[in-house]
């Protein structure tokens, strides 16, 4: 058994989650893999056990189902060996806002917001008490760009970014590292599941490149990692402008430009 913290990864049967599993196994971490597809999870787990001699547990769970989500929460609360949560499971959006219905909205928000928040809440108290550990939330650059038209999906990813930044401020002083990773278009199955042809996109990042870049940010303890962003100073400028805007707010006074 590894002396390093166990890593629990959601959405681990393919794509970003499976690549995170392989990379952490390479680093000698034991794993708990969570996803809906048991056959693919078991196949991945068997390969990682054999290749890297790590312990790999499998939790088959649909995070949109209350009982399954509760099972994963309980594992995060009760298993003291788990020191890293990779909140990767997510759903994409098929069609614009007018094409959505109550069921599709509930499903999208359930996985992309509710599950992410509840799983972070399940592990955070234990990590804070221990004074170490990490929570990694997979967001998206779409959360920065309403112009891209994926209104609900983008809103869920904006939530993930805000949640991560807030958790970093609250948990960082207690020794817990929180990272938000914001991919752009990445070659994963989420596109096909959303009814979109990834081959119609002009530029797509390979999933291995995405995860390797995210792990560079993880090792550097970046709060926000944007693998496709060539000029990091532009994110710093955007965040600085946001903080300047907050400094200009006067809560007790209406701005003169709004006075009749």
In terms of C-beta density within 10 A (0-12 exposed, 13-18 middle, 19 or more buried), how is residue 135 classed? buried
In a domain, 259, yes or no: no
pLDDT at residue 260, rounded to an integer: 81
pLDDT of residue 200: 67
For residue 185, tell me if it sits in a domain. yes
Report how far residue 84's alpha carbon sits from residue 135's, in angstroms, rounded to the nearest whole number. 6
Residue 252 lies in a domain: no
Structural domain contains residue 154: yes
- 153 included as an active-site residue: yes
Whole-model pTM? 0.92
Residue 120 · residue 74 · CB < 8 Å? no
Domain that holds residue 155: 6-231
Number of structural domains the chain divides into: 1
CB 203, CB 185: distance < 8 Å? yes
User: What is the b/e burial string over 231-260, where b = at least 16 CB atoms within 10 angstroms of the residue's CB?
Assistant: eeeebeeeeeeeeeeeeeeeeeeeeeeeee
Amino acid 90: pLDDT: 93
Residue given tokens 């298993």 in the structure block:
79
CATH number at residue 206: 3.40.50.720
Residue 66 lies in a domain: yes
Is the Cβ–Cβ distance between 10 and 119 less than 8 Å?
yes
The reply to whether 1 falls in a domain is no
100 in a domain, yes or no? Answer: yes
Given the residues 153, 177, 218, 258, the one annotated as active site: 153
Going by their DSSP bridges, the two strands 177-181 and 224-225 should be labelled as parallel
pLDDT at 197: 61
Give residue 252's pLDDT: 86
Can you tell me whether residue 212 is helix, strand or coil? helix
Q: pLDDT under 50 in the chain at which residues? A: none
The pLDDT value given to residue 85: 98
Percentage of the chain beyond pLDDT 70 is 93
Question: Is position 76 within any domain?
Answer: yes
């Amino acid at each position: 058994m590894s002396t390093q913290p166990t890593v629990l990864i959601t959405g681990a049967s393919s794509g970003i989650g499976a690549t995170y599993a392989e990379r952490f196994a390479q680093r000698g971490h034991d794993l708990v893999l969570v996803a809906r597809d048991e056959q693919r999870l078991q196949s991945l787990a068997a390969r990682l056990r054999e290749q890297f001699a790590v312990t790999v547990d499998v939790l088959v769970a649909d995070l949109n189902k209350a009982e399954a989500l509760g099972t994963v929460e309980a594992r995060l609360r009760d298993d003291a060996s788990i020191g890293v949560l990779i909140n990767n499971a997510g759903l994409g959006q098929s069609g614009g806002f007018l094409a959505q219905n109550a069921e599709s909205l509930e499903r999208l928000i359930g996985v992309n917001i509710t599950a992410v928040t509840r799983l972070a809440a399940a592990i955070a108290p234990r990590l804070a008490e221990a004074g170490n550990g990490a929570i990694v939330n997979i967001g998206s650059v779409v959360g920065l760009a309403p112009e891209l038209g994926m209104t609900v999906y983008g809103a869920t990813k904006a939530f993930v970014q805000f949640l991560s930044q807030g958790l970093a401020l609250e948990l960082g002083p207690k020794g817990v590292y929180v990272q938000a990773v914001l991919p752009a278009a990445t070659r994963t199955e989420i596109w096909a599941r959303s009814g979109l042809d990834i081959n119609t996109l002009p530029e797509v990042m390979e999933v291995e490149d995405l995860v390797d870049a995210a792990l560079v940010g993880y090792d550097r303890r970046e709060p926000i990692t944007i693998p496709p962003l060539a000029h990091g100073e532009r994110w710093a400028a955007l965040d600085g402008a946001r903080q300047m805007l907050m400094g200009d707010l006067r809560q007790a006074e209406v701005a003169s430009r709004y006075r009749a």
